Amino acid sequence: MTVRTTTNAFGKGLRWLIPLAISGIALWLVLRNIDFSQFLHHLSRIGWGSFLLASLVYLVSFLFRAFCWYLLMQRKVSYKDAFLTMGAGYLLNNIFPFRLGEIGRAVLLDDPQGVSGLEVLSSVLVERIFDVFLAAVFVLSMLPRILGAAYDQSLIVMALILAITGFAVLFLATRYQGKINVWIARWGERSDFIKNWVAPKVVKLLNGLSILNNPASFMLALGSLVVSWFLAFGQNYIIFRSIFPQPPFWWMIFVLSAAAFGAALPSAPAGWGVFEGVKVAAFALLGVEAELAFTLAIVVHLMTFVYASIIGLIGLRLRGEAVIALYHRVVHHASEVKSNE
């Protein structure tokens, strides 16, 4: 018993230390090349007008992203609940590691008389799929501008074909969801791994993808997310043009999309360190000095951290929830899911 307890404690410690170490290393790699006098100089050049306009653009971007998620849940909750619950999920991600905010959304909206926690989780999963897809499209579409003649244009064509094929497969999987569930259940009879691990996740994904049966809602959800992305590009552009004369808008598309991939790495809460590191590295490919890139990364990161957290706190307040109590509920729920798998 003592050995098992020690092993579990060591494993939990590693789960906390590894993300923190990754963030720490990324931040160290960035800060070692930063001239802080230059950083403070760039920071002082950002006017209040630019800051307030960028803040407004961020909030509108958040509205569109929440609307996308609202549609992915097939309007089974109110838009207000979707908006505030997304903020609460971001708040948990900002404070705690392991992206517990996704489970937090399911815990907050789980209602026996309405949407189930499983449906919420599947909708969050689909939202993440959309996000990764769009980030990949944006990065690939910007590479010809960076690499010039050395870039193989066929990569974009291949990526587009793969994306279309992927969505076609998802559509067919949704169309024949019942048959797939029966097939997996039969397969699970011969394998505990399929029964306990694969099957629940396939069901979860297919439930979330049911919006594909409604092409109009699907296109509206994807379009809302595209608008949210471009508003986020605009937020970055507004801040960056305060410290860099007439930057090309496509720089923001490339840099922010690359940073989105970095945010998928294990890291400290809110992705501190990793977000800044990837953004500085992406700007380096464009020939932009580290101090300018770091200034933009810090300002935008702080803005998103503060505003999303405020929205989350308001949402929890209206629900009569406390952050720590919600955290314990989320951890308990995650443990139950893991034990069931």
State residue 239's pLDDT score. Answer: 97
Q: What is the DSSP letter of 218?
A: H
Cα-Cα-Cα-Cα dihedral sign, residues 56, 286, 258, 94: negative
Q: Among the listed ranges 150-154, 173-177, 194-198, 337-341, which one has the minimum average pLDDT value?
A: 337-341
Q: Is the pLDDT of residue 7 over 60?
A: no
State residue 159's pLDDT score. Answer: 67
Annotated domain spans of the chain: 2-340
Q: How far is CA 82 from CA 20, 68, 78, 124, 325, in A?
A: 30, 10, 6, 11, 20
**pLDDT tens-digit map of 101-141:** 888 999 999 887 778 887 888 888 888 888 888 888 898 88
Q: Which amino acid makes up residue 2?
A: T
Q: Is the pLDDT of residue 299 over 60?
A: yes
Q: What is the DSSP letter of 245?
A: S
How many other β-carbons are positioned within 10 Å of the β-carbon of residue 202?
Answer: 17
Residues 6+ apart with CB under 8 A from 73: 82, 109, 115, 119, 120, 123
- Nearest Cα neighbor of 31 from 280, 208, 288 is 280
From the centroid of its chain, how far is CA 168? Answer: 23
- Asked if residue 155 lies in contact with residue 140, where contact means CB atoms within 8 angstroms, the answer is yes
State residue 150's pLDDT score. Answer: 58
Q: What is the DSSP string of 87-137?
A: HHHHHHHHHSSTTTHHHHHHHHH--TTS--HHHHHHHHHHHHHHHHHHHHH
Determine phi and psi for 262, rounding to 5 degrees. Answer: -60, -35
Reported as half-sphere exposure (CB side, CA atoms, 13 A), residue 4 has a value of 1
Residue ranges of the alpha helices (H) in the chain? Answer: 2-31, 36-44, 48-72, 79-95, 101-109, 117-147, 154-175, 177-188, 192-193, 199-208, 215-240, 249-262, 274-285, 290-319, 323-340
Share of the chain above pLDDT 90, in %: 43
How many other β-carbons are positioned within 10 Å of the β-carbon of residue 201?
Answer: 13
How wide is the angle at C-alpha 309 spanned by C-alphas 39 and 328, nearest 5°?
125
b/e burial code for range 79-92 (CB count within 10 A of at least 16 → b) = eebbbbbbbbbbbb
State residue 137's pLDDT score. Answer: 86
Mean pLDDT for the chain?
A: 84
State residue 43's pLDDT score. Answer: 95
State residue 277's pLDDT score. Answer: 92
Residues 6+ apart with CB under 8 A from 138: 229, 253, 254, 256, 257
**pLDDT tens-digit map of 306-331:** 999 999 999 999 988 889 888 888 88
